Structure 1
């Protein structure tokens, strides 16, 4: 069996004292070491295949070097790039991500949070929060580091990272308005979570800003951000028999539900109705027709969420901010001027 490579081996290869090698390898103390020396130590560690002892490192600072993360639905394609960004950044910091799926079930979420606490994870990244979340309130009272990702909360106020929904919905509404659409429907998400409420409120604001009429019959609140919820929502919208030429969907899966109903009812996209999605998840360019969507930088959101939780753990209170990353509009074949 090959001998385990130690910190002393790395120090010897880099021709530095072991304490210097330790500081150079530790992200929190790396700035105390000359940049040339840091580079030499990192190269030596890479050449030797050195793997730091995370348990020993954690014992030194009374940490487990693990971060818990809760997501509502791992089958939703928007979460994998967020998780990847979080994991990549935490790995750089010598931490491990423990990922749990809650299925949007309150009891399951509560049980998972309790298990995470018992395992003494150093902090939590949560993507499942309702706008008011009593469990998170209790964790904050115990000074537990928590960061929200792709969500915000009214109570308690928490550090969070998400896309700028107000700007994103504005991109969608202004795009449709520029094509000549005036009767624009909105398949909104649930108002119990920040993404549903914020996008809906932004839709109303941008419609007013573009001097477009808001017809209550053209607004349907979907039960969740899923394809089936989009099916039910679009059916309900069509059954109201209110005229419209375009739809701003709460997300791409809701938009995909619109595609299903349109196919069933002989509605042509974009000839009869234009549709804009939100998130620009993988394969939206493979829809028939390809979906115009607001792209959110999910990987970058994950990286920033990891940086916030690391800051909160290192110095409580310093990471307590809300970050909104800018979106982009990806125009594809699902939008066109309204039929004359």
Structure 2
């Protein structure tokens, strides 16, 4: 004996249950057109749809309207705690506007990134929110020349007119340096992110300017480029500085993961933070306040970055007269226990 498959409720079923036209139901269930239907009617339609178990079919809608109502989110490293809050902020705004997000992880690999972006385009996404902007980024240039709608988040490309939402990294670095100077530090090192990225270059430039603003010695040997935005790269950079014999009492790291790499080296060498070395991070990723030595860091408005990028993208999709613009969000220094007045003058190179 075969069991009949239960019928799937349709838009017409909801319309019949409420006693309205199917077009009215369609408008009421679409956040972008809901305002065209009276509030009481919307309430009745939503109740009927829920009771019947009706779910809109996005594929059918896209075939009818030639629009997918989907957006691609291109993320360089989903294991980096910086990006999930950005994604959450973007998704909240997109969902409220009737869009869905397709998230891809590129592992900061240009070949993988191109493949993932082409996959998204084959799914007819209406635009992109991209967090992977190298200074030399051919794919971004191609997308821009082809008229793809996109917004950069936490990244900016100076050579292309692409909308972007970024934090005020320069001011964040300036706050970090000012804090250390006020504590009495004179020899401050910077473990910079890769110069191939816009954030690495910008934060290193901001550090040099901040040091000059406080009339501190401009020692190029105290600025070290890390090979990546991760703990291992930060550990290698700090170890190189310690072994090089340079005198310094504080470090401003390019991001929090690089700062955590500093913690690893200090622990391996029997040094303390902040007793032997004050450390400042950048981003304020989750759980830094739970460390044995809570990390002083520059806090970025992660959720707001994603939310504003989504709003900007929706505007560019739905407004034919939209003109590219950039939005700068504030960064704030969060002082914790990893910074204090200098005690020893220089971390010991020989302590293990």
Question: Is TM-score (shorter-chain normalized) higher than 0.5?
Answer: yes
The answer to whether structure 1 residue 332 and structure 2 residue 336 are counterparts is yes
- How far off is 1:16 after superposition? 5.6
8 Å CA contact 2:32–2:98 kept in 1: the answer is: no
Offset of 1:29 from its aligned partner? Answer: 2.7
Please say which of residues 52-61 and 145-154 is displaced more in the overlay: 52-61
Gaps of 5+ in 1: none
Superposed, 1:184-203 pairs within 5 Å as: 184-203=188-207
Q: Distance in 1 between matches of 2:180 and 2:203?
A: 16
Shift of 1:89: 2.4
- The SS at the match of 2:298 is strand
What is the aligned counterpart of 1:217 among 218, 221, 246?
Answer: 221
Question: 1:301 is matched with which residue?
Answer: 305
SS at match of 2:271: coil
Query: Is the CA contact 2:195–2:201 (under 8 Å) kept in the aligned structure 1?
Result: yes
* Residue of 81, 85, 97 corresponding to 2:85: 81
Task: State the secondary structure of the residue aligned to 2:259.
Answer: helix
Change (3 A) 1:50 1:92: farther
CA distance in 1, matches of 2:276, 2:320: 54
Change (3 A) 1:47 1:299: farther
Q: Which moved more, 1:62-71 or 1:264-273?
A: 62-71
Q: Give the secondary-structure state (helix, strand or coil) at the position aligned to 2:189.
A: strand
- The size of the alignment, in residue pairs, is 340
Structure 2 contact 161–324 (Cα < 8 Å) conserved: no
**TM-score w.r.t. length of structure 2:** 0.87
Could you report, residue by residue, the CA deviation over 1:100-139 in whole angstroms, capped at 9, with x for unpaired residues? 2212222222222222222322212211121232212112
SS at the partner of 1:323?
strand
Larger Rg: 2
Look up the SS of the partner of 1:301 in the other structure: helix
Q: Deviations over 1:206-239 (max 9, x none)?
A: 2223333321111101111110110111112212
Say yes or no: does 1:289 pair with 2:290.
no
CA distance in 2, matches of 1:10, 1:325: 44
Aligned residue number for residue 348 of structure 2: none
Structure 2 counterparts to residues 249-268 of structure 1, below 5 A: 249-268=253-272
Two-structure CA RMSD over aligned residues (Å): 2.4
Deviations 1:7-60 (A, max 9, x none): 455556767654344334333333444556556655665566542221232223
Contact 1:231 1:258 in 2 (8 A): yes
2:277/2:342 contact within 8 Å kept? yes
SS of equivalent residue, structure 1 residue 158: coil
Tell me if 1:178 matches 2:171: no
Shift of 1:337: 1.2
